[in-house]
Structure 1
C-alpha cells in the first residue's frame, strides 16, 4: 500500500508507539521503509538562558535511545530519526525529505480545547503533501 511511512511518536505517549508502529508495518509495501520520528521542541530563548547549554542535545540523545529501544522491542524494522523544532513543521519536513507517501501521527480524542484533532496533528493534516493517518488516542 505504502512504500515510505513516517511514524511520528511523541515520547510522552510512547506506550502508544508500539501500536502505531505495528499499524505502519501492516500498511507497508514489501520492500518499503518505516521511519520512526520524534521531534524535540526548541526551548524559547528567554527560558534557555536559565538552562544548561547542551539541554537540547541531551534531549535528542535521550529521544534516540528511547525511540531505538521501542523500535527494537517491537521487532519491526524501522529507521530512527530525531529532529528538533516545531513538531508539525519537523514532521512535514521529514516526510518531504524522505519522499514519504504516508505520515502516521497520533492525536488524543478531542475536547473543547481543540475540537477537531490535536494541534500538531491538525497542522500536519492541513499542510502535508502526502496522505496522513491520524490515530486516535484516548486520554
Structure 2
C-alpha cells in the first residue's frame, strides 16, 4: 500500500513502538522502505547548565542503539534515523526529506492539554503533507 513509511518511536515507549513498527511492515509495498525515527528534544539552556555537556549526544546514541536493537529483534528491514529538535517539527521534516507517503505515529492517553490525541501526534496530523495513521 505504501512505499515509504516514517515510524517515529519514543524510546521510553519502545513496546508501543514495536507494535506500530510491525503494523507498518504489514502496510509496506514490496520494495518499500520504513524509516524508524527517534527525536531527541533540545534541553532548555537554563536546565542544560546543570547537566553534563554531552547529554543530547548520549541520548541520540542511545536512541540509535535501541532502534537498531528493535530492527534486529523483529527481523523487519528498516532505516534508522535520529534527529534533534522539537518532535513534531522533526517528524514532519523527516517525512518531507524522505518523500514519505505515510507517517504512522503512536498516541498516548490524553490529558486535559491534548484531549483527543497526544500533542505531538496532533501537530503531525494537522501539518503533514502525507497520510497519517495514529495508533492508539
TM-score range, shorter chain: over 0.9
Superposition TM-score, scaled by structure 1 size: 0.94
Superposition TM-score, scaled by structure 2 size: 0.97
**Within 5 Å, which residues of 2 pair with 1:3-82?**
3-82=3-82
1:101 is matched with 101
Q: Is the contact between residue 64 and residue 81 of structure 1 (CA under 8 Å) also seen in structure 2?
A: yes
Runs of 4+ in structure 1 deviating by more than 4 angstroms, as ranges, are none
Q: Distance in 2 between matches of 1:20 and 1:60?
A: 21
Question: What's the CA shift string for 1:10-57, capped at 9, x where partnerless?
Answer: 011101121111110110011000000000000001111111111100
5+ residue gaps, structure 1: none
Q: Is the contact between residue 64 and residue 82 of structure 1 (CA under 8 Å) also seen in structure 2?
A: yes
Tell me by how many angstroms 1:114 deviates. Answer: 1.8
Q: Distance in 2 between matches of 1:112 and 1:51?
A: 30
Q: Is the contact between residue 107 and residue 121 of structure 1 (CA under 8 Å) also seen in structure 2?
A: yes
How many equivalent residue pairs? Answer: 136
Tell me by how many angstroms 1:85 deviates. Answer: 0.4
Greater shift, 10-19 or 117-126, is seen at 10-19
